[in-house]
Chains A and B, each alone.
Chain A
Amino acid sequence: MQGFIDLLNKVMPDLLQGTVVTLQIAVVSLALGMIIGLPVGVGRVYGPAWLQRLLGAYITLFQGTPLLIQLFMVYYGLPDIGITLGRLQAAFLTLGLNSAAYQAEYLRSALQSVSEGQMVAARAIGMSKWQAIWSIILPQAVRLALPAWSNEAVAMLKYTSVVFLIAVPDLMGQAKILASRYFAPIQIYLIVAVFYIVLVGVTYLILTTIERRVRIPGLTGDAA
């Protein structure tokens, strides 16, 4: 037991540093995913046919291939066409684009579950199509998409762990280094697993609080 506590003391600073990197990647990627995913989701539903197909292809590409391959393509592949990214930048971009594809799909299904009458009523008081989307449809769809979005945020925390394969010193990256430094892989990975669980738990708590705060009676996608 004493040995374990000694080990914990020794690895703690590095693991905390790794946690900061992991959180940073998750937050930036989710934000990037939201900034890209929102217009993609809206374009998927309300855009012209050619745009819908184009965005569909983007989503299929990122949902249909392993995240690791996407990461390698961005980090090792893009330099071939003259785009060289740092490790962290590659991590942000890959996870951001990947998350955008998922977030766009959650938003699409939420947008489609807002009843047709909402758009009709908005147009009837003189709103343009885009005014109606922005002021009436999106505020409802975002709330409807929130539970799925929470799952995405939690999943993202764990997906970030692939970045250790391009040597980003995130929680997983630190774990790998420490595991070989102290010849204690099982203990180290167990400790790291606990770190992830705590991160996920806290994230989940924050998001369910937000969900509760923005909940509106009767907003379930049925007609009002």
Chain B
Amino acid sequence: MTSPILRLEDVHKSYGALQVLKGVSLTVQPREVVVLVGPSGSGKSTLLRCINLLNPPTKGRIWLEDQEITAPGVNQDRVRQRIGMVFQEFNLFTHLTALGNVMIGLVKVRKMRKNEARDLAMFELERVGLADRANYYPAQLSGGQKQRVAIARALGMDPHIMLFDEPTSALDPELTGEVLAVMQKLASEGMTMIVVSHEMGFARQVADRIVFMEGGVVVEEGTPQQMFEQPRHERTRAFLRNIAQ
């Protein structure tokens, strides 16, 4: 048994009196693809933002590889470099081209030289099939292309794990395929991924494990086969049935 790449222990997150996460424990193994599902407001996105410390947990502990990243004094910026994140709304840097979006983190954060950074950024754009759009600004790209650039931007940082926060929810149906294809390719290359998504086709095909969350806790988790065919909880069954329709 290899050591887990990510381990959450009793993670809580509250905003004032509002408790969003009420004790989530989760372990992710290297190369594993975990799809996180649940009704809106169940805390899935919050959980992702806890993991990369954009909104650190109010209680509980998180380990990334051998490091407890919730320990006091941890350099959070350094932790985030190792955790790639892809957002529902893409959040590409508006003033930079596709190439610039991938390059800027390489230059400013990884401190690479410009031409080195350019080569690597081009490589990452090729990986998502967008080398020919390198000099386009975000506004000149389709939603699917934007999201692929956002994936390339995250990959450029050489992350050890990737978090996807509803990566296809803002896309027209005909554009989701190209993004899911890139994600599937990443998974097959061995990237560790946690994906919040309602794309059940993707979950079935690509996920090693599905985690069902509701009300700020993990209700049930299992392989896609277990979860779709014989879930233990009635809530899981009802949710997955609803979403599959």
Scan residues 202-224 of chain A and give those whose CB is less than 8 A from a CB of chain B.
216-219, 223-224
Taking a contact as CB atoms under 8 Å apart, the answer to whether B77 and A121 are in contact is no
Q: Separation in Å of the B159 CB from the closest CB of chain A?
A: 9
State which of B54, B95, B140, B146 has its C-beta within 8 Å of the C-beta of A143.
B95
A143 contacts across to B, CB distance below 8 A: 95
Let me know if A120 and B153 touch, CB within 8 A.
no
B81 / chain A contacts, CB cutoff of 8 Å: 125-126
CA distance A218 to B91 in the complex (A): 13
Interface residue? B85 (CB, 8 A): yes
Closest to B107 in A: A135
Asked if B26 is an interface residue, CB under 8 A from chain A, the answer is no
User: What is the 8 Å Cβ interface bit string for chain A, positions 127-153, against chain B (1 contact, 0 not)?
Assistant: 110010001100110010000000000
Residue B203 is within 8 A (CB to CB) of chain A in the complex: no
Chain A positions 40 through 70: 1 when the CB is less than 8 Å from some CB of chain B, otherwise 0: 0000000000000000000000000000000
A201 CB–B CB distance under 8 Å: no
Question: Would you call A217 and B154 a contact (CB within 8 A)?
Answer: no
- Counting chain A residues whose Cβ lies within 8 A of the other chain, the interface size class is 20 to 34
Instruction: Name the residue on B nearest A129 (C-beta).
Output: B77
Query: Contact between B93 and A118 (Cβ–Cβ < 8 Å)?
Result: yes
> Given contacts A125-B154, A224-B146, is CB(A131)–CB(B91) below 8 Å?
no
- Which residue of the partner chain A has the closest CB to B80? A126
Chain B residue with minimal CB distance to A124?
B85
Does A121 lie within 8 Å of B93, measured CB to CB?
Answer: yes
Tell which of B52, B87, B137, B157 touches A117, judged by Cβ atoms closer than 8 Å: B87
Residues of B with C-beta under 8 A to A124? 52, 54, 80, 83-85, 87, 154
Whole-angstrom CA separation of A217 from B150 in the bound complex: 18
Interchain CB contact under 8 A, B137 and A131: no
Q: Verify if A123 is at the interface (C-beta below 8 Å from B).
A: yes
Q: Which residues in chain B, 134-166, are within 8 Å of chain A measured between CB atoms?
A: 137-140, 146, 150, 153-154, 156-157
Contacts of B105 in A (CB 8 A): 125-127
Q: Does A122 contact B (CB under 8 A)?
A: yes
Set of chain B residues within 8 Å of A123, measured between Cβ atoms: 54, 77, 80
Quick check: A128 and B137 within 8 Å, CB to CB? no
Q: Is B90 among interface residues, defined by CB-CB distance under 8 A?
A: yes
For A216, the chain B residues whose CB sits under 8 A away are 94-95, 137
Contact with A along B68-86 (1 / 0, CB 8 A): 0000000001101101110
The 8 A CB mask of B34-62 against A (1 = contact, 0 = none) is: 00000000000000000010100000000
Could you tell me if A224 and B154 are in contact, using CB atoms closer than 8 angstroms?
no
Q: How far is the CA of A130 from the CA of B147 in the complex (A)?
A: 25
> If A120-B54, A216-B137, A218-B140 touch, does A127 touch B108 (CB 8 Å cutoff)?
yes
Chain A: which residue is nearest B90 at the CB level?
A224
Q: A126-B78, A127-B105, A217-B140 are in contact. Are A118 and B94 (CB under 8 A)?
A: yes
A183 to chain B, nearest CB (A): 57
Given contacts A120-B54, A125-B105, A126-B105, contact A217 B89 (CB under 8 A): no
Question: What 1/0 mask marks residues of chain A from 100 to 124 whose CB sits below 8 Å from any chain B CB?
Answer: 0000000000000001011011111
Contacting residues, chain B, for A217 (C-beta < 8 A)? 137, 139-140
- Specify the chain B residue showing the minimal Cβ separation from A122: B93
Which A residues contact B (CB, under 8 angstroms)?
115, 117-118, 120-128, 131, 135-136, 139-140, 143, 216-219, 223-224
* Besides A124-B87, A126-B77, 12 other A-B contacts (C-beta < 8 A): A117-B87, A118-B94, A121-B92, A124-B83, A124-B84, A124-B85, A125-B80, A125-B109, A126-B80, A140-B94, A218-B138, A224-B146
Q: Mind listing 28 A-B residue pairs with CB under 8 Å?
A: A117-B89, A120-B54, A121-B85, A121-B87, A121-B93, A123-B54, A124-B80, A124-B87, A124-B154, A125-B81, A125-B156, A126-B157, A127-B108, A131-B109, A136-B95, A139-B95, A140-B94, A140-B95, A216-B95, A218-B94, A218-B138, A218-B140, A219-B139, A223-B91, A224-B90, A224-B91, A224-B92, A224-B93
